[in-house]
Amino acid sequence: MLWEGAKGCRMNKIIVNPALARNHTLANTYQIRRTLSVSELSIVYVARHIEQGTLHVIKEFFPSALVQRKKDRRHIDCHEPGLGSKYREMLETFRSEAEILSQINHQGIIRYVQYFEENGTAYLVTEYCKGITLDQFMEEHPTEVTNDFLVERLVPVIRALEYIHSLGYIHRDVRPSNILIGEDGQTKLLDFGSAVRYQERTHTILTTAGYSPIEFYSGRSVQGPVSDIYSLAATLYFCCQGKAPIDVPKRLFHDTLEPLRDMNKVSPILTRVIHWGLAVSAQKRCASLKWFKVAMRAERLWERKFILMNGKKKLANDHKSTIKK
Query: Is residue 31 within 8 Å of residue 53, measured between CB atoms?
Result: no
pLDDT of residue 320: 40
What pLDDT is stored for residue 42 in this prediction?
95
- Average confidence (pLDDT) over 70-74: 93
315: left (phi over 0), alpha (psi -120 to 50) or beta: beta
CATH architecture label of 131-324: Orthogonal Bundle (1.10)
Average pLDDT, the chain: 86
Among 15, 51, 17, residue whose Cα is nearest residue 34: 17
Q: How far apart are CA 276 and CA 270, in angstroms?
A: 10
Domain ranges of the chain: 25-127, 131-324
**What distance in Å separates the CA atoms of residue 38 and residue 27, rounded to the nearest whole number?**
21
Cβ neighbors of 236 (< 8 A, separation 6 or more) are 150, 154, 270, 274, 277, 292
Q: What's the CA gap between 165 and 154, in Å, rounded?
A: 16
* pLDDT at site 142: 78
- Alpha helices, DSSP H only, in the chain? 84-102, 134-140, 147-166, 225-241, 268-277, 290-310, 318-324
Mention the CATH class of domain 25-127. Answer: alpha beta
**Residue 202 or residue 277, greater confidence:** 277
Q: So what's the pLDDT on residue 10?
A: 42
108-to-31, 186, 300, 321 alpha-carbon distances in Å: 27, 8, 21, 36
pLDDT tens per residue across span 87-127: 999 999 999 999 999 999 999 999 999 999 999 999 999 99
Q: Which sequence positions are flagged as catalytic?
A: 173
User: What pLDDT score was predicted for residue 87?
Assistant: 96
Q: Output the pLDDT for position 6.
A: 36
Asked if residue 45 lies in contact with residue 19, where contact means CB atoms within 8 angstroms, the answer is yes
